[in-house]
Amino acid sequence: MNQYPLWKNLLVVFVLLLGLLYALPNVFPQDPVVEVSGTRGATVTQALRAQIEEALKQAGVAYKRIEMDQGKLRVRFQRPEDQLRGQDVIARKLPSGYTHALTLSPDLPGWLVAVGGKPMNLGLDLRGGIHVLIDVDMDAALKKHMELQVGSMRTFLRENKLRYVTVKAEGKGVVVRFKDPQTRDKAMEASAEEFRDLNFSKSDQNGAYYFRAEITPGAEREIRKQALSQNITTLRNRVNALGVAEPIIQQQGERRIVVELPGVQDPGKVKDLLSATATLEYRLVVGDPAQWQEAERSGKVPPGTRLYHDRKGQPILLKRQLIVTGDQMVNASSGFDRQSGTPAVFVTLDSKGARRMRNVTTDNVGKPMAVVFKEKRTVGRDENGKPIKKWVEEVINVATIREPFGRRFQTTGLDSPAEAHELALLLRAGALAAPIDIVEERTIGPSLGQDNIEQGFESVVVGLLLVLIFMALYYKVFGLIADLALLANLVLIVAILSILQATLTMPGIAGIVLTVGMAVDANVLIFERIREELRVGSSPQASIHAGYAKAFSTIMDANITTLIAAVVLFGIGSGPVRGFAVTLAIGIITSMFTAIVGTRALINLIYGNKRLQKLAI
């Protein structure tokens, strides 16, 4: 009696060994690291590595080692002070086209990395990081919307053969001028049916006839809401590209966004990433090369046009009126043009952008259209090694519209496949619907994070020791078995958090402490049931069997109800509440395994199939 089959014992051993293996990465320290990567197609080379290594040696900055991995260069340091000194040296040495960032990276042995071992992520309250409060420029979002409305209004009036003099944006509205009141009235009536989010009014001034279409309060609220929502989505996509574990990006009020990035040490890089705008604009070309050169020489451009330059520095005149912009792109992928074999980005527009592109290309078959690439780019470094950034707008492609197209098309004219890939990534992340301003920035230093880690660790150790001592004294051998199961439970919790790459926060540590008490509670129920069976005269073997069998349903009911509560907390909670719910749920599952299956395996090993007179319980 009281023996497990061999496969069940092997299962317990396998689970415990697997838990130890994937919990092990958390024992290794995190190194301060300066990570160097290329931009705009630049690649990290051995020559660059040698230059950085020589510069660090000349500056007398001690470093642990330099690694090259997946197109990035990592310089590991022993101390944060060396990391900061190394950053200054590397920033001065890096040529244009490369960027660097401060981060933390675990120093794991190769064999552990090969089996997928990773330490669990620590939240902002434990690891330190950056807290950023962002304000969204809603006025710019409204202005951008009205500019698009101007283009839509022009297209609508032309399609309905309603002759107008001018269409322009004024404040929160569009003003259209006509030569006669009859056309004005007819156009206003037709436009009111088409543009239901605008309020229309008419006026006469100095022999000219106008109507004004002003955005409704409800539509304005919706535009503000959409701008905030799109910016949150875009920022989340950009932060995900950083590889930050469990970032918090959420709305605060009607126009602000909170971003919390645990483990990030370089606020400058974060600010550049969050506020960056790299996108495409499609515009019609005006005139010929002779006119472009004349506009460049004289500084005078025709009305309704703007002077741009291509990547060779040659001038080109484009219409101010936009066709589509990056925020109307729903997907982008990189590849190669089938005819020329050059790098290309394949773009997919949303329904509104597709309709606009189709209308414009239908009306302008045989005319050239340009693609403008807009990016905030590092153009050099100052005497302190800090990057100098400026806005760059350049025409990357001019092509004749051969036939109408709409939802999906391709853009060529890129320098390299790497640039096409980067541009596709940025377009997939999306353009900001409105400019943002970082109004508050707080960096939580490693000392605060370390204090929290130490206090949280002490709370777990103290709680665990008290439980271990009580169980050993009160339940004797069975108590020691429960203690071993409790230690195994902690190992499994850490292992699962590491495998899932979940984030541990202070509330998460609270969940682990709670799990310690709940895990031993199951064994208390089992052991007390065994005692009851012994008191009524059952044999030791029968008492062990009855204790586990009869306590199982009670333990299962209690843990299932707690698990349901944890799932609800995770579903409706956010941030710290979710962290608590995750560790609680994992702890419930692992404690069920260790408290029931694990302890039973040990007790069977010690007492199974033996003639017993009494039990040490």
Query: Looking at residues 26-49, what average pLDDT do you find?
Result: 80
The domain covering 30-107 belongs, at the CATH homologous superfamily level, to ACT domain (3.30.70.260)
What span, in angstroms and rounded, lies between the C-alpha atoms of 314 and 394? 10
Query: Looking at residues 266-295, what average pLDDT do you find?
Result: 78
Residue 515 has pLDDT above 70, yes or no: yes
Provide the 3-class DSSP secondary structure of residue 281. Answer: strand
Its pTM surpasses 0.75: no
What span, in angstroms and rounded, lies between the C-alpha atoms of 290 and 312? 17
Q: Please report, for residues 302, 305, 344, the alpha-carbon distance to residue 509 in angstroms, rounded to integers and kept in the order given.
A: 66, 61, 49
Buried b (16+ CB within 10 A) or exposed e, 407-417: eebbbbbbeee
Residue 593 has pLDDT above 70, yes or no: yes
What span, in angstroms and rounded, lies between the C-alpha atoms of 149 and 174? 7
Has domain 6-24+445-607 been given CATH number 1.20.1640.10? yes
Candidates 616, 590, 589; CA nearest to 603 is 616
Query: Looking at residues 526-544, what average pLDDT do you find?
Result: 88
Residue 248 has pLDDT above 80, yes or no: no
Task: Work out the number of other CB atoms within 10 angstroms of the CB of residue 297.
Answer: 9
What span, in angstroms and rounded, lies between the C-alpha atoms of 539 and 541? 6
| Token pair listed for 53 | 């290594």
Query: Sorting pLDDT into bands at 50, 70 and 90, what band is 42?
Result: low
Residue 573 has pLDDT above 80, yes or no: no
Alpha helices in 536-575 (DSSP H): 540-572
Alpha helices in 46-194 (DSSP H): 46-59, 80-93, 110-114, 124-127, 138-159, 181-194
pLDDT at 265: 62
Query: Sorting pLDDT into bands at 50, 70 and 90, what band is 459?
Result: confident
pLDDT at 577: 80
CA 57 to chain centre: 36
pLDDT at 387: 60
Query: Looking at residues 10-32, what average pLDDT do you find?
Result: 90
CATH number of 139-220: 3.30.1240
Residue 399 has pLDDT above 60, yes or no: yes
Query: Looking at residues 40-51, what average pLDDT do you find?
Result: 79
What does the mean pLDDT of the chain come to? 82
pLDDT at 365: 86
Query: Sorting pLDDT into bands at 50, 70 and 90, what band is 493?
Result: very high
Which amino acid, 531? R
pLDDT at 95: 77
- E-assigned strand segments in 129-239: 129-136, 166-170, 173-178, 198-205, 208-215
- Contact between 142 and 223 under an 8 Å Cβ cutoff? The reply is yes
Residue 272 has pLDDT above 70, yes or no: no
Domain ranges for the chain, please list them.
Answer: 6-24+445-607, 30-107, 139-220, 277-442
Query: What secondary structure letter does DSSP report for 11?
Result: H
Q: Please report, for residues 13, 196, 478, 535, the alpha-carbon distance to residue 608 in angstroms, rounded to integers and kept in the order given.
A: 18, 80, 14, 20
Backbone angles phi, psi at 604, to 5 degrees: -60, -40
What span, in angstroms and rounded, lies between the C-alpha atoms of 155 and 23? 63
Which amino acid, 406? G
What span, in angstroms and rounded, lies between the C-alpha atoms of 576 and 182? 64
Tens of pLDDT, residue by residue over 131-153, are 888 888 888 888 878 887 887 88
Percent of the chain, pLDDT > 90? 9
CATH fit for domain 277-442, picks 3.30.420.40, 2.40.40.20, 3.30.1360.200, 1.10.1060.10: 3.30.1360.200
Residue 397 has pLDDT above 60, yes or no: yes
Query: Sorting pLDDT into bands at 50, 70 and 90, what band is 308?
Result: very high
Bigger pLDDT: 509 vs 202: 202
